[in-house]
Chain A
Amino acid sequence: MKNTFNRRAILQGSGALVAGVAAPSVLRAQTPIVKVGVLEPLTGNLAYNGTQCAAGAKFAAEAINAAGGIKSMGGAKIELVVVDAQSRPEVAASAVDTLVEANVCAFTGATASALGLASSQAAAKYNLAQVFSIGTAETVVTRGLPNVFRFTPGVNKCTSIALENLKLLNQGAGNVVKTAAIVHEDGPFGSNMAKILAEELPKQGIQIVETIPHPTPHRDFSNIALRVKASKADILIPSNYINEYTLMARALNQQRVELKAIYSILGGAASNIKFVRENNEVAQYVMDCNHWYDPTKAESKALAARVAAAGLDLTYDVMVSYATIQVIADALERGASADRQKMIEALAASTFDKSIMPYGPTKFVNGDNTSAQPVNTQIRGDKIELVFPKQYASAEAVFPVPVKKN
């Protein structure tokens, strides 16, 4: 047998070995990546919202990568590290360890304030920035944590803008609304909202004639509908979650409660296309003041098309999560580093104005984006239209609603 172990063979073999060993680093050098965490409740009670948020983050990362990635970092591609908060605060807190081990530069999340409060507290130990997709509770930004950045508005701002918009709508309609009924879930979210409304509505000349708290879950809204009907309120302001909102809207229709408007603030269903699709008759003209994107932007239209192509619902969860990844990408671009401290500094100095949300340039004050604002949506036919403020509006507001023919 001929011996093939000669100088040429050794050189060829050595060359192949060197190439094989070096290849991954060469490949890595060609496509640098930067890891961004997505901490959302993918299971448990909040799974729907969490999954929608995760989808929004994925769409954003894909769009940013397709546009060339983070250019200041050599076109680094964003790689999402998605972890499940299981709708439980303690899991949200421990999931931060997973993100740190994965070496993320920052993360977004976590759908509910309770989850975000726990995760951001845990992340503070690692000096890891959390950009809140949704976290309306004001305690999110009042704890003095330097790693907290809330891109979307909190409950106080949402309520004050909602009331201001209501005032403008009412003035435009000749002040037809003089009385209001409040139906709210009896947890912190609904109760706080009811308290603010009780203080603020009378200042607008709107008298509160009925305030009805209810537990979650609640099986029957017949009595509540009857009480609203007996109160002869002009307007109903509900603050509850989607299941109860659905039953409430049905009961109001069944009890033929005549209202000039249903005006939600951070409503559980009023900005949810599923509610519109599955309860179309009772959903008509329901108005909500909530997170929503600017539908006139080209990137918003592209997102809507991609969400539809993926067979998903275009909810505000998708929108805000998309926007928070945009904010993180902008910070990476400016800071040109995935270092945690540099990310916090870059986020704190953010003046980003190209997100899909109808906000001005980002300005974080104590972690709260002061340029964030909610908008008014209204259900019309099988769509959710943005009706207020007018510069972003996709339809004219109908207020008061047309009288129903029973």
Chain B
Amino acid sequence: MSILIVPAILSGMMMGAVYALVALGLTLIYGVLHIINFTHGSLLMLALYVVYFLNLHLGLDPYLAIPIVLPLFFTLGYCLQRGLIAPMSGGSEQNVLLITLAVSLMIDNLALYFWTSNTRSADIAYAYDTVEILGALLPLGRVIAFAAALAVSPVIWAFMAFTRTGAAIRAVAIEKRGAELVGIDVNHTYAICFGIGTACVALAACLLFPTFYVTPQVGYTFVLVAFTTVVLGGMGSLPGALIAGLLLGIIESLCGLFLGESLGQIGIFLAFILILLFKPSGLFGKRAGS
């Protein structure tokens, strides 16, 4: 069993990078809009279908689909927030919760109606390629996802820190009324933020597809862990989501190895409970009122 520990840690990190990628958009949307976005899993599923159909009908590689899928889902997220969530919620967070849940149910059931619950995957040439690191054979697709997760977090952080739009988003997040008073279009900023979050989940879909499958239920496979990642990392914290994602991946993998795969997820929720007990704001979260 001991010879399996290093490969298990490494493969856990690779899986954790996927969790982090899915969680990035979720934490961004929560950090700014304070929306617990229940559509996240459904949007992940939708993006996976888009990647699948682009591959099936146009022969487009999932990675090459990124320049198409990201703008598409940014627009979708923007329109969803601007055209549906904002006007229907009337500023109430409870309403937002219900609206995102309703949209999620609609997307899932439409997917089931149009595409059935049939499992779909693609026979991509490099899907079985591996990279050898420290004696462990890691799927190439997962290694690319890991590298992307490491790269995307600083890019989003830099965008938030150094661009005017980023500054506007931060201003709206901190003081909505104040931001409005200095001339920031709050609704537009909210929608941009939702769009970026949705684009993040679309990126996760492009990076996930070569090593996974797609069904109308696939969002549920990741969204619960993504919510856990966001809370564990600190709600709204981008570095927190990355570190928490990797941590959860490693914990899940080691627990699976030592306790059995059926009990692997116990580790995730045990770590979650412990962190909340001793650091309720999460690993990188700010204390309430600070």
Contacts and interface: CB of A to CB of B under 8 A. Distances in A.
A242 interface: yes
B4 A227 contact: yes
A330 B14 CA distance: 57
Interface residues on B, range: 35 or more
Contacts of A226: 4, 7-8
A230 B217 CA distance: 33
B281 interface: no
Given A220-B11, A223-B253, A256-B137, A278 B221 contact: no
Contacts of A282: 128
Contacts of B261: 212-215, 218, 223-224
Interface string B116-137: 1111111100011110000001
Interface string B1-32: 00110011001001100000000000000000
A254 B215 contact: no
Contacts of B15: 219-220, 222
A182 B257 CA distance: 16
A48 B118 contact: yes
B112 interface: yes
A277 B119 CA distance: 12
B117 A47 contact: yes
B39 to A, nearest CB: 20
Contacts of B3: 230
Interface in B99-157: 112-113, 116-123, 127-130, 137-139
B89 interface: no
B130 A243 contact: no
A278 B127 CA distance: 11
A395 B137 CA distance: 35
Interface stretch (A129-137, A139-147, A245-253): A245-253
Given A47-B112, A253-B128, A223 B119 contact: no
Contacts of B128: 250, 253-254, 281-282
A46 interface: yes
Interface string A251-281: 1011110000000000000000010011111
Contacts of A43: 112-113, 117
Contacts of A279: 121, 123
Contacts of A242: 119
B211 interface: yes
A217 interface: yes
Interface string A211-242: 01111011110111011001000000000001
Contacts of B117: 43-48
A243 B213 contact: yes
B212 interface: yes
A51 B116 contact: yes
Nearest to A48: B118
Contact of A246 (B121, B220, B221, B257): B121
Given A243-B215, A250-B127, A282-B128, A223 B257 contact: yes
Contacts of B222: 219
A284 B130 CA distance: 19
A247 B7 contact: no
Contacts of B215: 243
Contacts of A345: none
B108 to A, nearest CB: 11
Interface in A172-200: 186
B120 A215 contact: no
Given A219-B15, A254-B137, A277 B116 contact: no
Contacts of A46: 117
B232 to A, nearest CB: 17
24 contacts: A43-B113, A45-B117, A47-B116, A48-B117, A48-B119, A212-B260, A212-B261, A214-B262, A215-B265, A219-B222, A222-B8, A222-B139, A223-B253, A223-B256, A227-B4, A246-B121, A246-B213, A250-B128, A253-B128, A254-B139, A255-B137, A278-B120, A279-B121, A279-B123
Given A46-B117, A278-B122, A281-B128, 15 more contacts: A213-B260, A215-B265, A220-B15, A222-B8, A223-B4, A223-B261, A226-B7, A226-B8, A243-B213, A243-B215, A254-B130, A254-B137, A256-B137, A274-B120, A278-B123
